[in-house]
Amino acid sequence: MLRLLLISLVAAIALGLLAGGRLTNLGETRFRLGWVGLAGVVLQFLPLKGNLGNLVLTLSFLCLFVVCGVNWRLPGFVLILVGLWMNFVVITVNQGMPITRGAIVASGQADTISELKTLDSPKHHLKVSDDQLVFLGDIIGIGPPIRQAVSIGDLAALVGVAWFVALAMRRQPRRALQPSAESATSGIRPDEARPQADVIAAGGPWVVTAAEGP
């Protein structure tokens, strides 16, 4: 999954640049609780087993849910949240993500089937007959050079990440007008213009908020 995430980020940056965007615009995007999202990603890759592994995996999803929730107005984050939720549901129901044999073979990882049969991991296991919601599991095999078995939720989250990066590179962060300049062009007194500028600054680059009247 990490390999596919890196490829998606590179492709999104390339698309953003081709569309006339700039990396500086991405850096200026107001992204809240970024450290919580980073912690959630790191927790996903800790090689823990048993009850501790289940607890850490659940905590990682909660971190990512919080980040998506507070940044839902940014492009792509609703799609990321949907993808994460689909993965969380199927992992919770089956105590791990079921991977189909067909997806493993299609991704060029047939040699790992025997290992998956005995793998004690809270994240993945070879699909068994009593697994539920298998259509949300890792049923899609992506062959070389990526060599990954992924779920519908994985793809939704990756598209959301790429969407966010590409659009954030294109959009110019909104800056509040100075009260004096705004009043000169609109006829509004400086003491009336300041609240409107403050509202725009607080709303973020993708929120348009109308100022309330007196």
Q: What is the mean pLDDT of the chain?
A: 82
Look at residue 173 and give its three-state secondary structure: coil
Cβ–Cβ < 8 Å for 100, 110: no
How many beta carbons lie within 10 A of that of residue 181, not counting itself?
A: 12
83-138 pLDDT tens trace: 999 999 999 999 899 999 999 999 999 888 888 877 767 788 899 999 999 999 99
Which region among 27-41, 108-122, 141-155 has the lowest average model confidence (pLDDT)? 108-122
Residue the block writes with tokens 């592994």:
53
Q: Cα separations (Å) of 16 from 11, 26, 30, 162, 163? A: 9, 10, 18, 9, 9
DSSP for residue 171: S
155-202 pLDDT tens trace: 999 999 999 999 999 876 554 334 444 444 455 555 554 554 444 444
Two tokens at 124?
């993945």
Report pLDDT for 177. 38
Percent of the chain with pLDDT over 70: 79
Question: What average pLDDT score do residues 36-55 get?
Answer: 89
Strands 140-142 and 148-150: antiparallel
